[in-house]
Chains A and B, each alone.
Chain A
């Protein structure tokens, strides 16, 4: 059966035959790095055109339809425009931090790609604290936003950054607790073990209602963490013009923009890995024939299919809901989501000890 792991294996074998082990490892690292950069750019372009098409579909209009077939090359054209545009630095800005912030945003998004299993046996770095690594690295994102807001020397930017700081730090708790509930059920932080534990059923089905609650809280929390509507207070355009990236232009703006979309992809991928079985195919009990057919679909298609389904849901939020106010946003987290997810973690722990899950 065709899989991404075949490509990885053949590259590894080919390099091992030609070079000694050290050079092989270095070359593989370079290839992996280039692949991540390529994937980063591709994901940004694909997700932007997807968002524009989804929003057009929800808003009874056509969306981009001039550049390329059905407007599919529109985001290439936009990126090209942003590349050749002048990147202005305002006079009063802190030049070093102002120019550094977009790169931190991009580096964070790239680092987060490492532990994601894109297909069966196709993963850059299967480190033993994979899930912890993801939640640790993703909290660095707030530093880039605060840096951008502070260094811009613009009141709108500063307010957007402060909002974003309060928001990301709060919602990280709920996201962390939802991740923790799956870690408790699995007994491991390693991404490959978490996926392997779902071979006989995804956690969202195996974990009864508490797992579904954890999944819903996870989706809400990551929507807030990636600053997507209805939690897009950091860049609320009707209040703060563009929030923390008001002063950015050209490629520096594009890096923030791409990082936002790649972050959406990453949090959806983490949600897929934790709750929807990663690249595991969909199986129903003892329907041997059905399960066999499902097994024939490549694992990469399972992974990307589930991830893009979650991305679609997050886009659906954006084009449906009005924005929350800052105090409502923090109330939602501290008064509702956090207590619910704490109790939920307790229930899941009891379930894991008593082996009540399937």
Chain B
């Protein structure tokens, strides 16, 4: 591993300065939450350069999708950003529906939004626990999983799976909600509201935590835009980019919720955005849970779907940012080309920019607040 990094550096023609050291973080390392490989140039504890190496979990999902039908390829996308699998499916279903020009029944729209927001909360819960673990606090992880577990139970009951839900199909959702759904979601909201103060006491208000997060990894609004950051990463720098607000899909334009914006741009701002987003998601769920319209949950579509010749694009807001699905169709039953614009890839690209000059401990904190999910970066 040492030898490869030497070669990498020779190729770039940047000889190491005296006292510099190259260290490989990953592909197996506790801080990277997956198989991300960072080659870090260090001077003592100070970071001079961070170079992400990708490709360790590349499964060529985009290529696989080209040989799958328009019903089948949706399920593969659950494996991209596995923490917001439902939202990925949603984006693909939206794109196919755009091509087919089918109307989705209102009940399916509400169910999709409810599930999206539950997924968002579950994803942010996991992020919260994992980020605290990066900073050396183990206990929050278990507290986060306590709440996340009840969301997973809701998912399991209705969708049949806990992580890769595969609940969205072109035209609506696969089957109707479980009769217990409303009760369990209300129970979850009660549990969440009762326990949320523990999050603040344990992590947000902790003086060590605040010192570790404030003025660390500052990303300016201009940089956030030029690197193509989306989601909480960009909103922490004050860039308004919530797809749910700017390009509302389903029924997001009928619901009242706030786009959470922080202007500091540091790790703490990104942290606060995610914490407050969970509360906004709770607000959305509370508005919808008693108002699920009756009716069909699925529009009848043909057995073999064929998109007309052309190009289709849809975008949704996942827990990590904007996910774009771009389908080029030649009129057949499989897509000619599919391209996913994943939020994690752009968010990872700022890591080198914000990490230069800080310490190793900060790099781990920054990676935590960027909320990297490696299979999403490396499709």
B142 contacts A322, C-beta separation under 8 Å: no
Q: Which of B21, B136, B138, B362 has the most chain A CB atoms closer than 10 A to its own CB?
A: B136
B208 contacts A321, C-beta separation under 8 Å: yes
| Closest residue on chain B to residue A163 by CB atoms | B45
> Does A20 sit at the interface, judged by CB under 8 A?
no
| Closest residue on chain B to residue A323 by CB atoms | B136
Which residues does A use to contact B, with CB under 8 Å? 55, 58-61, 155-156, 159, 163, 229-230, 232-233, 236-241, 319-328
Determine how close the nearest CB of chain A comes to the CB of B35; give it in whole angstroms: 15
| Closest residue on chain A to residue B365 by CB atoms | A325
How far is B208's CA from A323's CA once the two chains are assembled, in angstroms? Answer: 7
Given known A241-B29, A325-B359, A326-B361, contact A59–B142 (CB-CB < 8 A): yes
Could you say which residues of chain B place their CB within 8 Å of the CB of A240?
Answer: 360
A320 contacts B139, C-beta separation under 8 Å: yes
A325 contacts B30, C-beta separation under 8 Å: no
One of A60, A230, A233, A241 near B208 (C-beta < 8 A): A230
Chain B binding surface SS class: helix
A322 contacts B209, C-beta separation under 8 Å: yes
One of B136, B141, B206, B363 near A232 (C-beta < 8 A): B136
How far is B142's CA from A61's CA once the two chains are assembled, in angstroms? Answer: 8
Q: Which of B135, B359, B362 has the most chain A CB atoms closer than 10 A to its own CB?
A: B135
Q: Which of A241, A322, A324 has the most chain B CB atoms closer than 10 A to its own CB?
A: A322
> Does B133 sit at the interface, judged by CB under 8 A?
yes
How far is B212's CA from A322's CA once the two chains are assembled, in angstroms? Answer: 9
Given known A159-B45, A239-B360, contact A230–B136 (CB-CB < 8 A): yes
How far is B23's CA from A240's CA once the two chains are assembled, in angstroms? Answer: 10
Size of chain B's interface in residues, with CB distance under 8 A? 31
How far is B364's CA from A1's CA once the two chains are assembled, in angstroms? Answer: 56
Given known A232-B136, A236-B136, contact A324–B212 (CB-CB < 8 A): yes
Determine how close the nearest CB of chain A comes to the CB of B212; give it in whole angstroms: 6
Determine how close the nearest CB of chain B comes to the CB of A141; give it in whole angstroms: 21
Encoded as 1 (CB less than 8 Å from any A CB) or 0, chain B from 145 to 161 comes to 01000000000000000
Q: Which of A230, A238, A324 has the most chain B CB atoms closer than 10 A to its own CB?
A: A238
Which residues does B use to contact A, with CB under 8 Å? 21, 23, 29-31, 45, 132-139, 141-143, 146, 202-203, 206, 208-209, 211-212, 359-364
B211 contacts A328, C-beta separation under 8 Å: yes
| Closest residue on chain A to residue B23 by CB atoms | A155
B361 contacts A323, C-beta separation under 8 Å: yes
How far is B361's CA from A61's CA once the two chains are assembled, in angstroms? Answer: 28
Could you say which residues of chain A place their CB within 8 Å of the CB of B135?
Answer: 238, 322-323
A-B contact pairs, 25 of them (CB 8 A): A55-B139, A60-B146, A156-B23, A159-B23, A159-B45, A230-B136, A233-B361, A237-B30, A238-B30, A238-B133, A239-B31, A239-B360, A239-B363, A241-B30, A319-B138, A319-B139, A321-B136, A321-B208, A322-B209, A322-B212, A323-B208, A324-B212, A325-B211, A325-B361, A328-B208
Given known A156-B23, A326-B45, contact A238–B139 (CB-CB < 8 A): no
Q: Which of B138, B146, B364 has the most chain A CB atoms closer than 10 A to its own CB?
A: B138
B138 contacts A55, C-beta separation under 8 Å: yes
Could you say which residues of chain A place their CB within 8 Å of the CB of B211?
Answer: 324-325, 328
| Closest residue on chain B to residue A319 by CB atoms | B139
Determine how close the nearest CB of chain A comes to the CB of B133; give it in whole angstroms: 7
